[in-house]
Amino acid sequence: MLMMRTKLAIILLICGTLILGVFGVFNYHKTHERLYGQMDYKLSAIATRLAYRLPENMWNYDFDTVIKDLESESTSRFVYRIEVISKDDNFRHITAPKDGEFDNEFRLRSIPLIYNGLDDETKVGDLIIYEDPRSVESTLTSEIVSGIVQVFLLDLIIMFLIWKYARAIKEIESSKNYLNTIIHSYKDGLLVLGENHQVSTLNEAAKRMFELDDVPLEDITLSKIIAKVVPDSRAYFSQSLYGFNTKNINYELIRTHDRQIVQVRSNKIDVNEKTLQVAIIRDITEQHLDKMKVSKGAELFSAVKTLQDKFLVSDDFHNSFREVLKILLKIGESNHGIIVELDHGEPDRYRVLAQTRLIANGYVSEDFVRDVVGRVIDTKKGDRSLQLMGLSANSGKLIINALSMPLYLSNQLVGVVCLFDESTNYEDDLVSWLEPVLSSLSAMVNFVRQKKLNDMISEEMVRAKEDAERANEAKTNFLAMMSHEIRTPMNGIVGMSNLLKETDLNQQQSYFVDTLIHSSNALLNIINDVLDLTKIEAGKMRLIEQESELTDLVHDALVVFHAKAVEKSLRLHCLIDPHLPRWLILDPVRYTQIILNLVGNALKFTKHGSVMVHLSLVTEGGSDMLRLEVKDSGIGIPEDKLHNIFENFTQVDNSYSRSYQGTGLGLPVCRKFIELMDGDIRVVSKEAVGTTFTADVPLVVTPKRPHTLLEGLVVNPDVRDMKVLVVTEDAQLYMVLSTYLESMGMAVEQLYGKSVLSESIDGSSLLIIDDNMMSDVRPAISRAANTILISHNGIVEQMGMPCLINPINPYALAHALTYDSPIENNLQEENVEPVHFGGLKVLIAEDHLVNQDLMVLVLNSLGCESTLADNGLQALEQHKANPFDLILMDCQMPEMDGFEATRNIRDFDQNVPIIAVTANALSGDAERCLEAGMNAHLAKPFTKDQLVNLMMLYVSDAKRNPVSEEWTFQRETSVEAEDHTKGERLSPAIVACTSFDLDQLKDQVGDSAELLTHILTKYLSTQQADLDAFESAMKVSDMSGVRKIAHKMKGAAAMIGARELADICLSIEKEDVEASDTIPIQRKLEQIHDKTAAIRREIENLVRSHLHFTSL
C-alpha cells in the first residue's frame, strides 16, 4: 500500500513538472515573439517620425532642432543610440549611448533622409538607429526564471498535498482501526444493517451472542441472526432491529448450552449518502434473573404481607398458619410439611400449628416427625438431610429429603418448620428465599403468646405519646406566653427606668440607670432571638437594615457587660478603627445580638485577664468588610471541639455546661445572623491561652453620611498641643487610647513602673490615669496641666477629677478633652433638629376609623397635610385627580385591596413613594408588598419613629424642612399647656393597663391626654361595629367575610397595643374552615368578646379617671 502511494506521488510529480515545462516553453516563445514584435514596432515608429521631421530641419540648417528630436527619441528602451550624418558631411550628431557596450553588439537600422520641399526629392543625409534588445532579453530571462520557480513551487505544492493526503489516509485508517477496536471490544452487541438488509458490521460480542464466532462476516445474513431468537419473538425482534418497536422488550436467544435474554435499541444514521441501521443488543440475562428473583421475592413478600394483615385482624390463627404452610410448600416444591410452636414453659414440648394431610392422618409416623423436630430443638440449628421416613400404614420405610428450620424471635427459639419431599433436593438458596417467610412466621408464632403483653405495651406507648404531645404543647404554649409574660415586667422596668432618668440624678446614678435601661433592652432582644430560633432554622428570618451609628451601637451593647466584668475583675476593652465610617447600613438589632453573644461568651469563659473587642475595616475579594474580633484570655476550646462549636445546644463538654451554664444557642444564632448578612464567622483557640472569634460582614456606607469615625470632632488647639501621658500597665488600654488620640493629632506616651513619677510630667502635660495606678502617680498629679481618670468599676465621682469609664468611647474621650462640662458616656457630635415635613401631601388608604385617626394625628404632628381614602379604589381615583407626595397603603381593604391599587398607580406614576401599613407580619408579606410596587413595608403596630425613619428614606430633601419657628412655638405652647398636669400623678395600680399597651400608643401619637382619649374612644365605637359585623357574617356562614373582618379588627387592636386580641384575630384570619364547621370560630369569638370587654372596661376607667397621660 505504501509503495503504491509512493509511485502515485512520483507520477503526479513528473506529470505536473512536464505540464508546467511544456507550458513554460510555449509561454517563452509567445513572449519572445510578442516582445520582439513590440520592439520592431516601436523602432519603426521612431524611424518614421524622425524621417518626417529631420530632412526639413537639416535642409534649413536648423541643427538644434535636429539634436532635440534625436535626444527625445533616444530615450526609448529599445534604442541604444541614434546617429545622423548630413550628405555633405558638414553635420554629424550621435546621441549618448546608454552604457559602455560595443557597437557591434547591436543591430543597426539605416534610414535615408529625403527632403521633398523641391520639385525633386533630395537626399539630405542618413539616419542610423542602434537597436537595444537587452530589455527584451531581460524580460525573457525573467520569464524563464519565473517558469522554473513556478514549476518548483508547484512541485512543492503537489508534494505537500500528497503528504497531506497520505497523512489524512493514515489518520482515517488509524481512526478506523481505533473504531473497530472499540466496536469489537464493546461489551454489548453491535449490528449495522445496510441496504437490502445486508449485515455491514457485527462485533465480537454480537457474534458470541448469536453463536456465529466462526462464520465470516460476508456469510452472515440477517435471517441467520433472527433464527437465533425464539420463534414467538422473531417478528418483534426484527421490528426492534429497524427501530419500529421502542418498548423495552426482552428477547430470548436459542443457544446450545444456556439461555440468554437480550434487549435491542436501534437508530438510523446517514453515512456517505447511505442510510444505515445501527442496533445495540444488550445482554440482560443477569438483570433479568435478578428481576425475576426480585419479582418472586415481591410476590412472596406480598403474600406474606397479606397473610400478616389477615392474621392481625383475624381471630382464626390456625387458618393463617395453614396458609403460610401452603406458601412454604409451594416455594420449597414439597409435598409434606409441619409447623410447630414450642411451649413457653417447657421447651421440650411443642404444639402443632399446621400440618399437611398425610402427616395429620398419621400416614407418616409420629415418631419420625418428633425425631426431626427434636433434633432442631436440641441443636438450635436447622438441618438438611436424606432420611428414612416411617410409614404408619404398612410399617414401611420411604427415603425422603428433609429440611428442618428453627424459628427465632429476639434470639429465642419459638418454633420449628419441617418440609419433606421424595424428589426435591433442597439447595442452600432455598433457605435464603424462605428467610422472609420464616421471619414473618416467627413473628406470627410469637404473636399468639405475646398478644396480651403487646396490648399492654401498646397502651403504654399511647399514654407516653399523649404525655409527650401534651408536654410539647405545653412547651409551645410556654414559649408563646413567655414573650408576653417577660416583656410585661421588662416594659415596666424600662418604663420606670426612663422615668427615673428624668429625675434629678448625680452622674453615678445616671450611669447606673443607663446601664439598667441598656441591659433591659438587651434582655428583650435576647428573648426575641431565642423565640425566633425556629424561624431562623426555617430560613424565614429577615434583616431590617437601616442607618446605624457604629460607635453608639457597639458601646450600647458593651455597657450591658460592665457589671459582669467588674464582678469578675476582668477588663473589657473596645477599639473601633478610626478609619471606619461613622454611619453604616446594617441591621442594628441583629448586629447588636452578635456582639452580645460573642462578648457574653468571652466574659463567661474568662476567669482572669481581659476581653478585647476590635472593629476594623478589611478588604477581601475586592469588597470592603466590617470585621469584628472578640479576643479573650479565657479557658480556650480544645482543637477537637472547634468543628461543632457553632451547632445548636452545643458546648465544649458537659463539665463546661455545669460550670458556666448556658443554652448553647448563642454561637449558632450568631452564625445564622452573620450568614444572613452574607458574612463569615470563624474561631481560633488554644486551651488555657484564650479564644478569638472573628466575624466579617459586608460594609455598606450610607451615601448621605460619608464621614469617618472621628471626622468632625474638633479638639482645642491648646489641648492638642499638650503632651499626653497615659499612666497604665495595661497594654490593651494604652493601644486603645493611643489609637484614638493619635487620630486626633495628639502625641501620646506611656508611663508605668518607676517612670510614673517622671520629670516629664509638667504644666504642659495631660495625664490619663488608669485607676489602679492612682496611688502610684498621685504625688505627680499636681504638676500636670489636666488629668483624666480611667475607671474600670463604674465609679466616676469622688475622685476630684474628670473620669471616663472603660471601655473607652472615642466621643466621650474627645468630649473629656474640652474640660468644659461633665463627662458622659456618649457625645453627640451635632444637635439633631426635630423632623418636620411642612406641606407634605400624604394620602392615607385605610378602612378602619381608629387607624385613620391615629395616622392623621401622627402625620399632623409632623406638619403633613393628610387625606383619607376608605379603600383602594378611592385611593387610586384621588391620586389620579390630585397627585400626592406620599401614600400610606393598607393591604386589606374592601372593593380594591392595597396590592391591586398599588399596581394600578404604578401604571401611571412610578415615582410616588408608597409605604405598606398592614397588620400582616407574616414571613413573605413584605416581599409581596414589594412585588406589588410598594417601596417599603411597615407592620402594625408601629411607632412614630419607625414611620419617620421610612419617610426620611423615601421623601426627597426638598420636602423635608427644619422646624419652622411657628411650628416650634406651637409645640412649646402645647408642652407648656400640659406641664400643669404633671402634679396629678396616679398610682401605678391605677395606671396599669393589662389588655392593651398604653406606652405603645403614646409612642405613636405622643403624651397628649386629649389625643389619646380621642383615639381610645374612637376605638371603642369602631370595635362594637366590627363585632356586630363579625356576628352577622357568622350567622350567614360567610367565612370569607369573617376573615376580612378579623383582619380589620387585628389591625386596630395592634395599633393600640392589644396584642392578645390581635393574635386571636390573626388565628381566625388564618383559619381554613368550611361554612359547615364554624365551631372553632365560635370558640374564638367568645375569646374576642372577653378581650374586647376587658379593653372597654380599662378604656372607660381611664377616661372617667381623667388620666393625665403626660405624667406617665
At 538 the pLDDT is 47
CATH fold group of domain 981-1111:
Four Helix Bundle (Hemerythrin (Met), subunit A) (1.20.120)
In CATH, which of 3.40.50.620, 3.40.50.10490, 3.40.1030.10, 3.40.50.300 is domain 717-816? 3.40.50.10490
CATH architecture label of 21-141? 2-Layer Sandwich (3.30)
CATH architecture label of 544-563+586-698? 2-Layer Sandwich (3.30)
pLDDT tens per residue, range 29-42: 888 888 888 888 88
Question: Does residue 549 surpass a pLDDT of 80?
Answer: yes
Confidence band of 539 (pLDDT split at 50, 70, 90): low
pLDDT tens per residue, range 905-959: 999 999 899 999 876 545 456 778 888 899 888 877 677 777 887 888 788 766 6
Q: What is the 3-state secondary structure (H, E, C) of 470-509?
A: HHHHHHHHHHHHHHHHHHHHHHHHHHHHHHHHCCCCCHHH
Question: Does residue 528 surpass a pLDDT of 90?
Answer: no
Rounded mean pLDDT, 995-1022: 72
Question: Does residue 1077 surpass a pLDDT of 70?
Answer: no
Rounded mean pLDDT, 957-976: 44
CATH fold group of domain 188-283:
Beta-Lactamase (3.30.450)
Q: In the chain, what are the helix, strand and coil shares in percent, each to the nearest 5?
A: 55, 20, 30
At 616 the pLDDT is 96
Of the candidates 878, 879, 874, 868, the one whose C-alpha atom is nearest the C-alpha of residue 913 is 879
Q: How far apart are CA 893 and CA 870, in angstroms?
A: 8
Q: How far apart are CA 558 and CA 553, in angstroms?
A: 9
| Domains 188-283 and 544-563+586-698 agree in fold | no
At 900 the pLDDT is 93
Question: Does residue 332 surpass a pLDDT of 90?
Answer: no
pLDDT tens per residue, range 282-308: 888 888 877 777 776 676 777 677 766
At 409 the pLDDT is 80
Rounded mean pLDDT, 748-773: 80
Q: How far apart are CA 84 and CA 67, in angstroms?
A: 9
Of the candidates 942, 998, 846, the one whose C-alpha atom is nearest the C-alpha of residue 856 is 846
Of the candidates 494, 352, 358, the one whose C-alpha atom is nearest the C-alpha of residue 420 is 358
pLDDT tens per residue, range 108-147: 888 898 888 777 788 888 888 888 787 777 888 887 888 7
The hierarchical CATH code for the domain 840-964 is: 3.40.50.2300
Confidence band of 980 (pLDDT split at 50, 70, 90): very low
Confidence band of 554 (pLDDT split at 50, 70, 90): very high
Can you say whether the dihedral through the CA atoms of 55, 56, 61, 64 is positive or negative? negative
Q: How far apart are CA 936 and CA 898, in angstroms?
A: 13
The hierarchical CATH code for the domain 315-462 is: 3.30.450.40
How would DSSP label each residue in 504-555? ---HHHHHHHHHHHHHHHHHHHHHHHHHTHHHHHTT------EEEEHHHHHH
Q: Which residue has the cell 441591659?
A: 519
Confidence band of 245 (pLDDT split at 50, 70, 90): confident
pLDDT higher at 162 or 823: 162
Confidence band of 966 (pLDDT split at 50, 70, 90): very low
Q: What amino acid occupies position 165?
A: Y
Domain boundaries, the chain: 21-141, 188-283, 315-462, 544-563+586-698, 717-816, 840-964, 981-1111
Rounded mean pLDDT, 51-59: 86
Q: How far apart are CA 7 and CA 574, in angstroms?
A: 92
Of the candidates 413, 402, 352, 403, the one whose C-alpha atom is nearest the C-alpha of residue 380 is 413
Question: Does residue 534 surpass a pLDDT of 60?
Answer: no
Rounded mean pLDDT, 761-777: 83
Most confident segment among 472-476, 865-869, 890-894: 865-869
pLDDT tens per residue, range 1034-1059: 888 788 888 888 887 887 787 777 88
pLDDT higher at 729 or 435: 729
CB-based contact 300:331 (threshold 8 Å): yes
Question: Does residue 772 surpass a pLDDT of 60?
Answer: yes
Confidence band of 976 (pLDDT split at 50, 70, 90): very low
Burial of 177 (0-12, 13-18, 19+ CB in 10 A): exposed
Distances (CA, A) of 341 to 362, 414, 447, 568, 1020: 19, 6, 11, 72, 78
